[in-house]
Amino acid sequence: MSKVKLPTPLPVQQFARCIDASRRPANYIGEWPEAGRVYPVKVLPNARTGQPQVHVLGFYVEAPYGAFAVQRFEPVANVWLN
């Protein structure tokens, strides 16, 4: 058995295409994804519910919380960084 331990989190950059940019909340302050565009993302579990959420890297979001439902995005690529 190897004693090599992988870093946590893994050195992977994820990319996803926005497939649903509808239903922007009225109280949302910040950048909103455009349908059809590919974004660098990070998928993390919600702290309260544990459900996966998509965080678009580089977006400025003030309120409410800057995470999107996974149904709004489709995975495009995972790039391993080294």
Please give the tally of structural domains in the chain. 1
CA angle 29–56–6, rounded 5-degree value: 145
- 55 found inside a domain: yes
- 7 found inside a domain: no
- 22 found inside a domain: yes
Structural domain containing residue 31:
12-80
What beta strand segments (E) does the chain contain?
12-18, 29-30, 38-45, 52-56, 61-63, 68-69, 73-80
pLDDT tens-place string over residues 11-70: 899 999 999 999 998 888 899 999 999 999 999 998 899 999 999 999 998 866 789 999
- 17 found inside a domain: yes
Of the pLDDT bands very low, low, confident and very high (cuts 50, 70, 90), residue 2 is confident
- CATH, residue 41: 2.30.30
Q: What length does the chain have?
A: 82
- 30 found inside a domain: yes
User: What pTM was computed for the model?
Assistant: 0.82
Between β-strands 68-69 and 61-63, what pairing exists: parallel, antiparallel or unpaired? unpaired
Residues 6 or more apart whose Cβ sits within 8 Å of residue 24: 32
- 5 found inside a domain: no
